[in-house]
Structure 1
């Protein structure tokens, strides 16, 4: 959001080190600019890595056991099995030419070292750029100690405004000063004060930026005087700290003293949030004991005005975040005040309620599940607190059980890890353990471990019978129905699912009835009782509509579509599955998308459109993230193993219709589609002739910067059209237009639409874009 100033020599050094070594670590004190430099270099080198440049911000990760999952999430590798997360990640990266930026490693140093070593050994074309206050300590690691910005030496005078602005520290201060005072300029009257101020701040970028904010209310001379007072105070308090640490701490300490007592208290309490927070969360967690709930908004606004809190726009409104150094400072203040445990409990309670809402609330489930993904770091922190606090494991198990749908949307391995952790700590035969055993068993079945699931269900049944708990016993009946369905025993599954539905109806368990409808419809379809399957799925959809259960509604739409397809009604079947796909696209649920793609392939093949069906199988393979092989195309469908015969039959039919060569070529081409093009094609939002171009060149060909469609979108951006205008012009959805714009920015390494407009103008006028490809392109060929 701000301009990048200086660091040309350091950026060149990092590129040189990356050309010679596969692991480069940027070290230096907090606030010196390691992250900004790493991201700048990564952005400039993206052309050298055809499989992507992947930033992984570890500042929000507190639990070292989740490191591999966090990296997988950043790379878009969905956690959809119970395999070791490191194995899943290494398999994904093995053949890739990519750059991973591991940012903020210092608090997870041993774990980062082990993971980086494992990834680099497994993936010979992978490179890692790390930032840390300490070295990772791996063989072959190259390091660059990021220095402070150049500034005029004490006792020297550059002699002019022009000479002074050659120093990066001065340029940074002037740039950030203009952001808060647009009329600010470096003049002969203030030049020496600015130079002295930058020297006083040791050229540390974060310290300079924090100081520049004060120009809203102070002149440079007054700012310098206040800083001198602050440093003298700090030196009296700590004579042993490293100078640059004292520099940064002095600025933060000064910002703290400029806050009101209530703002300081809210700053300290807000430090328990990880990865940001919304206003409602701040009201729940930070109010009480000196702060009234109605005061929180004004206090948050005050901290935003003082640049303590950063604001971020999200689909759920404005969120607030403390920079890591300010959060660390706040946590120290919270610990000093003695109220840390009470605030941490309020944080736990708030996010426990959010987890419960994903199952119990009758509001929009899509919004709730998307919100949970946004709050992943806070949820992890809350569960870490539960499992590390005496008597808190039951809380953690309840949270994990309530997150059952979240675990299936790309976090299955993490979910199973959480249950293993909590069940080992909490052995009481109570409702919390019983519910956790059921959900963990369900995840085990989905993960292809039915024997393990059966064992967990047996223990849960014992607890249900001991407690006389109707809901637990109904859930067990349903899960055993799922096991029977997994074995292909449709009749047993039908009997068990109907018994479960009766128990759940008696217990008033709406979610249980919806799940029973889903599995009963599946079992009836497998048994060939298609009219009953249709009625059951429709009844489940009606329940979802009445109670706002969007995720299960999407699954039931797919099952209803499959039943219609089996009955020969392909037109309504396709419409139902595409409606389900639109939901899963909005949620970002690859498991649901994979099942939708497979079902659409079956329906399309039934209509005799074999080439399109083959393309849909290729897209299914792209979302299944399995190796491209005949076995993968016939493999289990997104955890619904009882559907495998449909998939295998469809593959055989399309292969016969197209012939071996055409089938393999079409599937392989479609599997290369990016997410946006793949989904637009499946939803019939793009034309057939866009697919081959969007899939890119065959292996070994050199690709153009943009596809034909992306070039067309870029020209419309250059004409000043909005995303909505572009969608109307090209007769596509607005979401697809937005996806094209995001892909263009990614491919060109741009951050704004104006850069796209300039680029396309120069390209169309014959000027090319050589400047973009200059040093970076040359370095990219060397890296390749």
Structure 2
């Protein structure tokens, strides 16, 4: 009902004869159903349709036409989008007039005024569009967002790319839906331009599904687009955990880009194959691939890929205990990321550097991780936010600051719920269990370890078992562990967030 007073009043008259669920079903046809049974009411208060008709008829013909065209948008729009898609040079003046008569709304987002429309009004306006006009607007809507996404992905700061596309997410989804049925190649171009957005904002599944559907519906794909489709669908596939499909696509991308002489895509394909090797725990294979990709990236002055390779090579060295060699690589990666204005690259380099300085230069590590956390929050990368919050919780735990540690672990668990990966919840829950062990609440600690086991990866088993052996001796503690292990997700989360008496 969009909070419209008349709509609420009209719906309320049926409250004695329909349950809320029944009313909700009928509200799908809101204009037909929402009418007053009080025939003495003024005409434009008798039905929702009549009320909106009355406001609509007060508009000038040009303003009515523009208002109906705006129904093409979902979730809001910018002035530029209205000017281009509606092909209206008077867009600014018309938007101001529509705002004055409350037919549209305004909101400031990221230093830009965005416009919106209540869904009730959008549906009404959409009904006024002729099929041919709707089709023309849909095509211009798709073309506009293809150009916007491709331009932002190729140039400018990453934060602008993410914020601008994030604000238009519903428009992007609508453009993709229409494009899949009417212009699959444009839908494919759009989905590929969104790959960084899909991955950083944790929309891996959605990105993979729409990219594959567009790819499958394209009858004839130019080689330049085909090679990018193979590369980026491969990236999305391994992010979703399908390593076989990811590797298969990346190898096809490598072969085709080699045939085309597209050396930047060769470089990127090798790098992402290295990540697949990492996920398969093939460290030496990963190292060799990274060195190949880095050598080619330096030759091409492909700075984004230079920074990515340095970061991953540094991580391998740090995990081998060679921080002396790893630290310069992390710092060079950080410098490059700052220079090319890759916010995610900066945040990731800060995370890796901070994580490996924790046991050497704690104060510096704290500063680096806090900066990384701030940037990941700006990017809305919930998976990385969760990781950094765990690290800050672990630092507080080692200092004996259990209150701060608990706070970070709970924040990390909250962030983990916003990702598609269940295992991100393991570390914060395990951290909470360690706090309970230190503070002597062993039954609660055992229950939390049981919950943690629900999210544990095979590599976590040894750590989990060691903690269990520290406390489990008595039968009631074993029962507490089993009680945690048998909880469903809702029960487990409620238990984790429950306040300590």
Sort the TM-score into its range (normalised by shorter chain): 0.7 to 0.9
Corresponding residue of 1:207: 50
Q: Structure 1 residue 574 and structure 2 residue 366: aligned?
A: yes
Corresponding residue of 1:403: 194
Q: Structure 1 residue 495 and structure 2 residue 288: aligned?
A: yes
Q: What's the offset of the Cα at 1:132?
A: 1.8
Corresponding residue of 2:267: 474
Contact conserved, 1:478 with 1:500, CA < 8 A, in 2? yes
Contact conserved, 1:397 with 1:433, CA < 8 A, in 2? no
Contact conserved, 2:110 with 2:163, CA < 8 A, in 1? no
Contact conserved, 1:394 with 1:433, CA < 8 A, in 2? no
Corresponding residue of 1:416: 208
Q: What's the offset of the Cα at 1:632?
A: 4.1
Q: Which runs of 5+ in 2 are unaligned?
A: 426-449
Q: Distance in 1 between matches of 2:306 and 2:117?
A: 43
Contact conserved, 2:304 with 2:340, CA < 8 A, in 1? no
2:70 to 257, 261, 270: 270
Task: Render the CA deviation track for 1:276-307: whole Å, top value 9, x for unaligned.
Answer: 211122123223xxx43xx3211221222344
Corresponding residue of 1:148: 35
From the superposition, tell whether residues 299 and 3 of structure 1 become closer, same or farther in structure 2 (CA, over 3 Å).
closer
Q: Distance in 1 between matches of 2:411 and 2:130?
A: 51
Contact conserved, 1:285 with 1:346, CA < 8 A, in 2? yes
1:631 to 437, 453, 469: 453
Q: TM-score of the superposition, structure 1-length normalised?
A: 0.51
Q: Distance in 2 between matches of 1:574 and 1:634?
A: 27
Q: Distance in 2 between matches of 1:538 and 1:353?
A: 35
Q: Distance in 2 between matches of 1:580 and 1:544?
A: 13
SS in 2 for 1:320: strand
Contact conserved, 2:270 with 2:292, CA < 8 A, in 1? yes
Q: What's the offset of the Cα at 1:534?
A: 1.9
1:453 to 237, 241, 246: 246
Q: Distance in 2 between matches of 1:312 and 1:457?
A: 42
Q: Distance in 1 between matches of 2:374 and 2:360?
A: 23
Contact conserved, 2:389 with 2:411, CA < 8 A, in 1? yes
From the superposition, tell whether residues 425 and 9 of structure 1 become closer, same or farther in structure 2 (CA, over 3 Å).
closer
Q: What's the offset of the Cα at 1:417?
A: 0.5
SS in 2 for 1:410: coil
SS in 2 for 1:271: helix
Q: Distance in 2 between matches of 1:434 and 1:146?
A: 52
Q: What's the offset of the Cα at 1:334?
A: 4.8
From the superposition, tell whether residues 606 and 446 of structure 1 become closer, same or farther in structure 2 (CA, over 3 Å).
farther
Q: Distance in 1 between matches of 2:13 and 2:239?
A: 52
Q: What's the offset of the Cα at 1:649?
A: 7.1
From the superposition, tell whether residues 417 and 466 of structure 1 become closer, same or farther in structure 2 (CA, over 3 Å).
same
Contact conserved, 1:570 with 1:606, CA < 8 A, in 2? no
1:259 to 57, 60, 68: 60
Q: What's the offset of the Cα at 1:503?
A: 2.2
Q: Structure 1 residue 321 and structure 2 residue 116: aligned?
A: yes
Alignment of 1:308-707 (within 5 A): 308-324=103-119, 326-328=121-123, 330-331=125-126, 334-335=129-130, 338-363=132-157, 365-389=158-182, 392-408=183-199, 409-426=201-218, 428=221, 430-565=223-358, 568-604=360-396, 607=399, 616-617=408-409, 619-625=411-417, 626=422, 629-635=451-457, 695-697=497-499
Which protein is bigger by CA-based radius of gyration? 1
Q: TM-score of the superposition, structure 2-length normalised?
A: 0.77
Q: What's the offset of the Cα at 1:424?
A: 0.7
Q: What's the offset of the Cα at 1:318?
A: 2.7
Contact conserved, 2:410 with 2:497, CA < 8 A, in 1? no
Contact conserved, 1:610 with 1:654, CA < 8 A, in 2? no
Corresponding residue of 2:79: 279
Q: What's the offset of the Cα at 1:482?
A: 0.5
Q: What's the offset of the Cα at 1:327?
A: 3.5
Q: Distance in 2 between matches of 1:385 and 1:664?
A: 51
From the superposition, tell whether residues 398 and 526 of structure 1 become closer, same or farther in structure 2 (CA, over 3 Å).
farther
SS in 1 for 2:24: strand
Q: Distance in 2 between matches of 1:24 and 1:519?
A: 56
Q: How many pairs are equivalent? A: 454
Task: Render the CA deviation track for 1:624-682: whole Å, top value 9, x for unaligned.
Answer: 344872324533xxxxxxxx85x6676667667788969989x99xx99xx9xxxxxxx
Q: Distance in 2 between matches of 1:301 and 1:612?
A: 49
From the superposition, tell whether residues 393 and 513 of structure 1 become closer, same or farther in structure 2 (CA, over 3 Å).
farther
Contact conserved, 1:584 with 1:593, CA < 8 A, in 2? yes
Task: Render the CA deviation track for 1:545-572: whole Å, top value 9, x for unaligned.
Answer: 122211222122111122223x633332
Q: What's the offset of the Cα at 1:414?
A: 0.8
Higher relative contact order (CA 8 A, sep 6+): 1
